[in-house]
Amino acid sequence: MSNEQTTAAKESPLAEVPQETPGHGLLAGRKVVVTAAAGTGIGFSTARRVLLEGGDVLASDFHERRLGETVAELRAEFPDRQVESILCDVSATDQVDALIAGAAEKLGRIDVLVNNAGLGGETPIADMTDEQWDRVLDITLNSTFRATRAAMRYFREANAADRGRRGVIINNASVLGWRAQHGQAHYAAAKAGVMALTRCSAVEGAEHGVRVNAVSPSIARHPFLAKVTSEELLDNLAAGEAYGRAAEVWEIATVIAMLASDYTTYMTGEVVSVSSQRA
């Protein structure tokens, strides 16, 4: 980006972070499961947005303390809504299967699954170990497959028992599934795989009343991101956006809520870019 473009982005009215959009009842009565929902990232903001939109939520994560803190915070803010939790390591098939079964039992049913779990990092290909490659692919892509498979089985049975039942699966992809970035080969490959998985599972899910879509954020800045990526890189990525800033995590969560709602009943197999990147 040229200096003129950077200056223009910083001076744009859109560079100022807007007030968080209030809830509009988009998910009233819906039962939603969100993976990797503990902490301060997109998962937590999505769980909170579900409650803002009138739904009930089950938050899942592998970190017991952070998950407990997340649930306590959400229950305190939304005392009239149902907030549940299940510990889950998304790299373990038995735990993912138990998550879907347990969520259906605790919530009474599942209407929406948000596959938010993912793992990044910054390593050039020449320096990347097999373990680094495998770990990112497993947490980011394979876990999305595991949860999608378990949810598809659940929705298939629910639809067979009640032809009026519909389900929604929303995956968290990334613009790196389309675009190249230094040191991100493992993450980009995993997110491209999430996009392909979204399209293929959407075709199969249609048979059972299931819509499957994905969001593709460019950059949503939160404290956890700084643990796996340098502040300098994050600053540069934010400056490269047309707005001159990164997205707030709630700005991603609102799009996820839209995809989970009845405003998108004719959308499936789509990857929605949540980005202000320049073409």
| Contact by Cβ (8 Å): 121, 39 | no
| Contact by Cβ (8 Å): 28, 2 | no
Q: How many CB atoms lie within 10 A of CB 236?
A: 12
How far apart are the C-alpha atoms of 195 and 206, rounded to whole Å? 17
| Contact by Cβ (8 Å): 12, 244 | yes
Question: How far is the first Cα of the chain from the last one, in angstroms, to the nearest whole number?
Answer: 11
Q: Which residues of 112-146 are buried (b: 16+ CB within 10 A; e: fewer)?
A: bbbbbbbbbeebeeeeeeeeebeebbbbbbbbbbb
Query: Is 187 an active-site residue?
Result: yes
CA-based radius of gyration for the chain:
18
- Residue 99 burial (CB < 10 Å; 0-12/13-18/19+)? buried
Q: Which of 187, 243, 263, 266 is catalytic?
A: 187
What are the residues whose beta carbons fall under 8 Å from the beta carbon of 220, sequence distance 6 or more?
41, 42, 246, 247, 248, 249, 251, 252, 274
| In the chain, alpha helices (H) | 3-11, 42-52, 64-77, 93-107, 130-137, 143-161, 185-205, 225-228, 231-239, 249-260
Q: How many CB atoms lie within 10 A of CB 192?
A: 16
What are the residues whose beta carbons fall under 8 Å from the beta carbon of 4, sequence distance 6 or more?
none
**Residue type for 157, please?**
E
Residues with a catalytic annotation lie at 187
